[in-house]
């Protein structure tokens, strides 16, 4: 199986480069350094790619690397010029590095320079252990924890790769979902037309009246497939892994590096494991309904959350030494602070490089543009944290005003009343947008009670995934550990609110559910995919805390029973290994559940009610030469006929199911069997240039009521004017004969 994936290595590499390198270059031009530049790279890359799509055809004639490079050069130039102008206006000799004057060095750096004494100590702390480079170190030398964060990303990427290989099982296997046909054909449309804009992508649905559709995933997959000369199925699978294995871990781990600046190696590795193991993201979005545009946008959401909280002043632009320290002065994950770190906590100094306002605002703007072009659903998700942040700021404003006196409190309440009234007015105004109303009014059926939905959310599962009992318990434990960390209460509030949203989407048919979850079609799966943004750091803290407790027991057991003392590091290693072994025995396949979710959507077997079986795919490959170039293929979308274009190269007349087909499609779908005798049907077939028709008795969702709209395109064995040119286990492909209109 591993050998068969060799053909996907090149497109996966190209996809990863396109999703990281442009943003990394722009971030460096903005002034970001170290892991900040890399962690923000996917978010900024989306903005660069989105800008590139806008340059076609005005600046560049076709979609290729040229508009991407042009966009990269343009955005990088603006980033560098802005940084230079700001540095000149502020007199900052090192633009992009805020607070680097004589008053801005951290205590660690001053100690290394010999400008302060390391005598600031706390009782019971270990001896000084300086691990971060001072200002005299080379800029290309990463800090120790940077290596740990990179190891976390690598672990997540490896877990996603293993789950992806075992789940998809072959790089050329298409996703067996009805929506996948539209996405594949939209990619083909971008390749053939050279236009990656939302209008052309939306038109790929074949509907009579089409709307703008988020084009970025389709443009990216088209570019990857073209550059590496692979089939669009292979290109889509390669892009899927790059999103889940590179974009998501980089964004999520970078957010965690800001949340937990004192994280231990064990915590960082636990973060990587949780990123790659929790099935709610990216595996559900890579399988259920094939929500590829959604997964591209949501994978960068963690980085956007961090920038949003920086703008709201709820997260410092430089990692603060007290960010993950609880009220008793201990690190959230039990990290032992050395003397210098303890002094940094006492003084509230920064423990790492910071981001300038130019970097935060520019990367945030670019990222929001890119997320919109990938899929606007992620921007609505970002609104969750914006509202939570606004609520926290409001409470702080009230408390600060109350301390100043009754008059100031009254003024504060009036301002808050005005501000929230404007917000509610804007919320109500969204009902005036027809396109948004169509999304919010779509209601997936509720499959459980609200209480059952809460149980699923707590165990990080849905109706299509099994419960993560171990990781769910670790998340709860991590939640409890953070109750005493004031700076991270937004994380706890966010986690509770996401669980509440899932409960509404999965089990409540109320008006409130429509108002709060309608931005994601009131779909429980889409809402569930947001939960890992908060569950990953909480689960990692829970795992570390459990390992510490067990390590203490191991140490006492070794000393009291065996009579042999163990070092704390060795006891922790034994405890961690024991936890992994116990979890694997009691709840096997916790880490490999993503493969099971993907495999269910990628099965390629006969009579399984899926879109394309192996023998059917072979028939589509032969169809490439069985009908003349330019002729199209028709068939009910529930038979998988729309997938034929992937291998045959012939366009399909019905690329997707829809409620507003063209008059020709509507007519042919119901009355195709009479094309030899009905002049109107014959004329429609000629306008559509139909050369072949696909009939398959193994139909996707055989009980779907929409099947009746295509009744004329099934059961064609007795229809006149058709010549069989391909037979499979359940499928027959017919050559459409001539007719007179």
Residue where one domain finishes, among candidates 474, 496, 527: 527
How many CB atoms lie under 10 A from the CB of residue 441? 11
Ramachandran angles phi, psi of 17, nearest 5°: -65, -45
Q: What is the mean pLDDT of residues 540-564?
A: 89
Q: How far is CA 418 from CA 67, 259, 387, in A?
A: 45, 32, 15
* Residues 521 and 625 both lie in one domain: no
Are residues 614 and 172 in contact, defined by beta-carbon separation less than 8 angstroms?
A: no
Q: Is 135 exposed, middle or buried (0-12, 13-18, 19+ CB in 10 A)?
A: middle
Query: What is the domain range of residue 620?
Result: 614-736
* Residues 523 and 620 both lie in one domain: no
Task: Convert the pLDDT of each residue in 427-440 to its tens digit.
Answer: 999 888 888 888 88
Going by C-alpha positions, the residue among 232, 215, 189, 193 that lies closest to residue 54 is 215
* Residues 356 and 456 both lie in one domain: yes
pLDDT band with cut points at 50, 70 and 90 for residue 639? very high
pLDDT at 288 over 60: yes
* Residues 619 and 497 both lie in one domain: no
Q: Is 89 exposed, middle or buried (0-12, 13-18, 19+ CB in 10 A)?
A: exposed
Q: Is residue 261 part of a domain?
A: yes
* Residues 229 and 362 both lie in one domain: yes
pLDDT at 119 over 50: no
Q: What is the mean pLDDT of residues 205-227?
A: 93
| Three-state SS at 291 | coil
Q: What is the pLDDT of residue 210?
A: 80
- The total domain count for the chain is 2
Mean pLDDT over the full length of the chain? 88
pLDDT at 222 over 90: yes
Q: Which residue has the tokens 């171990």?
A: 470
Q: What is the mean pLDDT of residues 604-611?
A: 65
pLDDT at 375 over 70: yes
Sheet harboring 722-727: ordered strands across? Answer: 632-635, 690-696, 731-736, 722-727
Are residues 700 and 644 in contact, defined by beta-carbon separation less than 8 angstroms?
A: no
Q: Is residue 550 part of a domain?
A: no
Q: How far apart are CA 394 and CA 388, in angstroms?
A: 10
Task: Convert the pLDDT of each residue in 250-278 to its tens digit.
Answer: 999 999 999 999 999 999 999 999 999 99
Q: Is 159 exposed, middle or buried (0-12, 13-18, 19+ CB in 10 A)?
A: buried
Residue where one domain finishes, among candidates 527, 548, 578: 527
Q: What is the pLDDT of residue 570?
A: 87
Q: How far apart are CA 278 and CA 311, in angstroms?
A: 29
pLDDT at 541 over 90: yes
DSSP 8-state symbol, 533: H
DSSP 8-state symbol, 336: P
More confident residue, 231 or 581: 231
Task: Convert the pLDDT of each residue in 392-421 to its tens digit.
Answer: 999 999 999 989 888 999 999 999 999 999
| Three-state SS at 435 | helix
pLDDT band with cut points at 50, 70 and 90 for residue 544? very high
pLDDT at 366 over 80: yes
How many CB atoms lie under 10 A from the CB of residue 522? 26
Q: How far apart are CA 297 and CA 381, in angstroms?
A: 10
Q: Is residue 188 part of a domain?
A: yes
Are residues 495 and 535 in contact, defined by beta-carbon separation less than 8 angstroms?
A: yes
pLDDT at 632 over 60: yes
Sign, CA torsion 622/624/625/626: positive
* Residues 514 and 620 both lie in one domain: no
Q: What is the pLDDT of residue 1?
A: 63
* Residues 519 and 640 both lie in one domain: no
Are residues 523 and 458 in contact, defined by beta-carbon separation less than 8 angstroms?
A: no
Are residues 633 and 645 in contact, defined by beta-carbon separation less than 8 angstroms?
A: yes
Ramachandran angles phi, psi of 435, nearest 5°: -60, -40
Task: Convert the pLDDT of each residue in 668-681 to its tens digit.
Answer: 999 999 999 999 99
Residue where one domain finishes, among candidates 527, 545, 565: 527
Share of the chain above pLDDT 70, in %: 91
Q: Is 405 exposed, middle or buried (0-12, 13-18, 19+ CB in 10 A)?
A: exposed
Share of the chain above pLDDT 90, in %: 66
Q: Is residue 541 part of a domain?
A: no
Q: Is residue 92 part of a domain?
A: yes
Q: How far apart are CA 453 and CA 189, in angstroms?
A: 40
Q: Is residue 549 part of a domain?
A: no
Are residues 710 and 669 in contact, defined by beta-carbon separation less than 8 angstroms?
A: yes
pLDDT band with cut points at 50, 70 and 90 for residue 344? confident
* Residues 651 and 522 both lie in one domain: no
Q: What is the pLDDT of residue 2?
A: 66
Q: Is residue 76 part of a domain?
A: yes
- Range scoring the smallest mean pLDDT among 108-122, 232-246, 372-386, 446-460: 108-122
Ramachandran angles phi, psi of 447, nearest 5°: -110, 0
In terms of average pLDDT, the best of 554-558, 562-566, 607-611 is: 554-558
Q: What is the mean pLDDT of residues 374-384?
A: 95
Q: What is the pLDDT of residue 136?
A: 39
Q: How far apart are CA 694 and CA 421, in angstroms?
A: 57
Cβ-Cβ contacts under 8 Å for 168 (sequence gap 6 or more): 237, 598, 599, 602
Cβ-Cβ contacts under 8 Å for 367 (sequence gap 6 or more): 40, 43, 44, 46, 47, 300, 303, 304, 307
Q: Is residue 187 part of a domain?
A: yes
Task: Convert the pLDDT of each residue in 58-84 to its tens digit.
Answer: 899 999 999 999 999 999 999 999 999
pLDDT at 530 over 60: yes
pLDDT at 606 over 60: no
585 token code pair: 């025995």
Strand (E) or helix (H) holding 722: strand 722-727
Q: What is the pTM of this model?
A: 0.91
| Three-state SS at 556 | helix
Q: How far apart are CA 367 and CA 369, in angstroms?
A: 5
| Three-state SS at 103 | coil
Q: What is the mean pLDDT of residues 180-198?
A: 95
Q: What is the pLDDT of residue 384?
A: 96
Q: What is the pLDDT of residue 588?
A: 73
């Amino acid at each position: 199986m591993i050998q068969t994936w060799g053909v996907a290595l090149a497109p996966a590499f190209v996809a990863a480069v396109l999703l990281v390198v442009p943003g990394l270059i722009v971030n460096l031009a903005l002034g970001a350094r170290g892991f900040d530049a890399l962690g923000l790279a996917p978010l900024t890359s989306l903005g660069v790619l989105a800008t590139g799509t806008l340059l076609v055809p005005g600046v560049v004639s076709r979609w290729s690397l040229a508009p991407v490079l042009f966009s990269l050069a343009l955005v990088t130039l603006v980033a560098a010029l802005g940084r230079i102008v700001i540095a000149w206006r502020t007199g900052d000799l090192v633009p992009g590095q805020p607070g680097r004057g004589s008053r801005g060095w951290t205590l660690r750096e001053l100690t290394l320079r010999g400008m302060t004494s390391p005598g600031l100590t706390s009782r019971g702390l270990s001896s000084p252990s300086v691990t971060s480079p001072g200002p005299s170190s080379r800029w290309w030398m990463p800090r120790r924890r940077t290596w740990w964060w990179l190891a976390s990303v690598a672990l997540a990427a490896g877990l996603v790769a293993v789950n992806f290989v075992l789940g998809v099982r072959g790089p050329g296997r298409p996703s067996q979902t009805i929506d996948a046909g539209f996405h594949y054909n939209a990619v083909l449309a971008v390749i053939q037309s050279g236009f990656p804009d939302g209008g052309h992508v939306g038109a790929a649905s074949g509907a009579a009246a089409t709307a703008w559709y988020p084009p970025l995933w389709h443009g990216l997959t088209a570019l990857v497939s073209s550059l590496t000369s692979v089939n669009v199925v292979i290109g889509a699978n390669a892009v899927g892994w790059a999103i889940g294995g590179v974009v998501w871990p980089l964004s999520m781990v970078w957010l965690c590096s800001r949340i937990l600046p004192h994280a231990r190696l064990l915590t960082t590795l636990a973060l990587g494991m949780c990123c790659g193991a929790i099935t709610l993201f990216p595996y559900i979005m890579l399988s259920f309904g094939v929500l590829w545009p959604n997964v591209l946008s949501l994978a960068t959401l963690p980085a956007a959350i961090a920038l949003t909280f920086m703008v709201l002043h709820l997260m410092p632009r430089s990692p603060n030494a007290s960010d993950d320290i609880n009220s008793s002065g201990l690190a959230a994950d039990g990290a032992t602070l050395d003397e210098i770190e303890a002094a940094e906590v006492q003084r509230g100094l920064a423990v790492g490089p910071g981001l300038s306002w130019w970097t935060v605002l520019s990367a945030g703007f670019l990222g929001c543009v890119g997320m919109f072009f990938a899929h606007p659903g992620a921007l609505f998700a970002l609104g969750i944290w914006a509202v939570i942040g606004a609520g926290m700021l409001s409470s702080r404003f009230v408390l600060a005003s109350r301390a100043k006196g009754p008059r100031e409190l009254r003024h504060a309440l009036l301002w808050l009343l005005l501000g929230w009234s404007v917000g509610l007015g804007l919320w109500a105004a969204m009902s005036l947008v027809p396109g948004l109303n169509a999304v919010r009014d779509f209601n997936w059926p509720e499959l459980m009670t609200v209480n059952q939905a809460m149980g699923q959310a707590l165990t990080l599962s849905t109706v299509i995934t099994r419960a993560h009992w171990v990781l769910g318990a670790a998340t709860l434990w991590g939640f409890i550990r953070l109750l005493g960390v004031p700076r991270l209460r937004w994380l706890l509030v966010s986690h509770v609110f996401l669980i509440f949203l899932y409960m509404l989407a999965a089990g409540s048919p109320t008006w409130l559910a429509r108002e709060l979850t309608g931005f994601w079609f009131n779909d429980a799966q889409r809402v569930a995919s947001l939960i890992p943004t908060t569950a990953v750091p909480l689960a990692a803290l829970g795992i570390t805390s459990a390992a510490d407790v067990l390590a203490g027991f191991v140490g006492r057991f070794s000393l009291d029973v065996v009579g042999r003392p163990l070092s704390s590091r060795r006891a922790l290693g034994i405890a961690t290994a024991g936890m992994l072994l116990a979890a694997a025995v009691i709840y096997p396949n916790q880490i490999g559940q993503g493969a099971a979710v993907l495999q269910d959507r990628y099965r390629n077997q006969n009579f399984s009610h899926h879109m394309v079986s192996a023998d059917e795919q072979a028939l589509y490959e032969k169809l490439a030469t069985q009908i003349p170039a330019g002729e199209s293929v028709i068939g009910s979308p529930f038979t998988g006929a729309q997938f034929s274009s992937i291998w045959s190269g012939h366009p399909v007349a019905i690329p997707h199911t829809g409620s507003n087909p063209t008059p020709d499609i509507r007519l042919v779908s119901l009355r195709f069997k009479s094309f030899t005798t009905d002049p109107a049907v014959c004329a429609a077939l000629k306008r559509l240039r139909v050369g072949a028709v696909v009939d398959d008795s193994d139909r996707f969702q055989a009980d779907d009521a929409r099947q009746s709209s295509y009744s004329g395109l099934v059961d064609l064995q007795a229809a006149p004017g058709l010549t069989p040119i391909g037979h499979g286990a359940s499928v027959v492909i017919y050559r459409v004969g001539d007719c007179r209109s």
